[in-house]
């Protein structure tokens, strides 16, 4: 059941479902607040809980407001694009052959047919990003499967509005955000580890933290770095 709580000028979306604990989240880009709660929890109890967390909510919203955002992209000559945390200049090369992407030490070369529209240029580059991620992720999964004693049966890459990754422990499947292709490799590794730890512990509880400390001692640093870097110009809110 979906409902709303109103606290002054703060609107909180409430989703009640078959879970045991309350989960509070603040989402980019505008600091939208959502609460997931057990079905039987009264709204008055949830209201008291949210009021107790108002300082934390405001702090998270302030962080999001201060976070830099990438400019919108037109996919034109000498425009800046990022790959694995490095900045590249786009070179647009027209030819009468199927589109392709090539990379050198300072440029992403976008080969396209004449009159290719901006939307299609974006699709071509995003498809290339997806291929690159799908080459990197299996190596990381294999590394941590051995360390954690778990098995990832499937993984995928897709655009996500509010999360860097997700995990389905029952299906043993993880999904990674396409935007991670633009971030430094260690941040991709952090998200992979985070989602794989959910195969051992579904919740973000004390055990989850202990497992993260065990498998990636610097995970808090990587988390902060990922949240500090510019986010996509696309509105990630729901």
pLDDT tier at 230, thresholds 50, 70, 90: low
Confidence (pLDDT) at 234? 33
pTM of the model as a whole: 0.74
Confidence (pLDDT) at 236? 27
Residue among 136, 144, 153 nearest 216 (CA):
144
CA gap 152, 145 in Å, rounded:
7
* Cβ proximity of 187 and 231 under 8 Å: no
DSSP 3-state of 192: helix
Element (H, E) at 227: helix 219-228
Query: What average pLDDT does range 12-24 have in this prediction?
Result: 88
Query: Would the pLDDT of 142 be above 90?
Result: yes
Would you list the domain boundaries of the chain? 2-66, 80-228
Residue with more model confidence, 151 or 68: 151
Residue among 88, 120, 64 nearest 235 (CA):
64
pLDDT tier at 69, thresholds 50, 70, 90: low
pLDDT tier at 238, thresholds 50, 70, 90: very low
Confidence (pLDDT) at 31? 82
pLDDT digits over 75-88, tens only? 999 999 999 999 99
Point out the least confidently predicted range of 56-60, 68-72, 87-91, 198-202.
68-72
7 bridge partner residues: 10
Query: Would the pLDDT of 211 be above 70?
Result: yes
Confidence (pLDDT) at 170? 95
* Cβ proximity of 176 and 160 under 8 Å: no
Confidence (pLDDT) at 192? 98
Whether the bond between 35 and the residue before it is cis, its omega within 30 degrees of 0, is no
For the domain made up of 80-228, the CATH class stated in words is alpha beta
Element (H, E) at 17: strand 10-17
pLDDT tier at 70, thresholds 50, 70, 90: low
Confidence (pLDDT) at 160? 85
pLDDT digits over 74-131, tens only? 999 999 999 999 999 999 999 999 999 999 999 999 999 999 999 999 999 999 999 9
Residue with more model confidence, 153 or 62: 153
- What's the chain's average pLDDT? 90
Confidence (pLDDT) at 60? 83
Q: What angle in degrees, to the nearest 10, is found between the helix axes of 185-197 and 206-215?
A: 140
Query: What average pLDDT does range 38-44 have in this prediction?
Result: 90
Residue with more model confidence, 233 or 18: 18
Q: How long a stretch of residues is the chain? A: 238
CA gap 151, 179 in Å, rounded:
25
């Amino acid at each position: 059941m979906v409902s709303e709580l109103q606290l002054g000028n703060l609107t909180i979306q409430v989703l009640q479902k078959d879970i045991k604990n309350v989960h509070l989240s603040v989402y980019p880009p505008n600091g939208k607040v959502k609460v997931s709660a057990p079905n039987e929890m009264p709204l008055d109890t949830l209201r008291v809980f949210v009021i107790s967390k108002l300082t934390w909510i405001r702090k998270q919203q302030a962080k999001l407001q201060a976070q830099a955002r990438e400019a919108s992209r037109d996919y034109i000559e000498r425009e800046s694009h990022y790959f694995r945390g490095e900045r590249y200049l786009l070179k647009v090369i027209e030819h009468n052959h199927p589109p392709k992407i090539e990379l050198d030490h300072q440029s992403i070369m976008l080969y396209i047919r004449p009159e290719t529209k901006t939307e299609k240029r974006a699709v071509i580059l995003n498809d290339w990003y997806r291929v690159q991620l799908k080459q990197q992720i299996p190596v990381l999964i294999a590394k941590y499967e051995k360390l954690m004693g778990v098995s990832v049966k499937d993984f995928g890459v897709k655009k996500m509005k509010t999360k860097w990754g997700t995990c389905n422990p029952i299906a043993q499947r993880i999904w990674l955000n396409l935007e991670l292709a633009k971030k430094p490799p260690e941040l991709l590794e952090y998200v992979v580890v985070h989602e794989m730890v959910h195969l051992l512990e579904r919740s973000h509880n004390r055990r989850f933290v202990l497992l993260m400390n065990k498998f990636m001692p610097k995970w808090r640093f990587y988390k902060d770095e990922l949240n500090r870097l510019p986010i996509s110009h696309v509105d990630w809110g729901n």
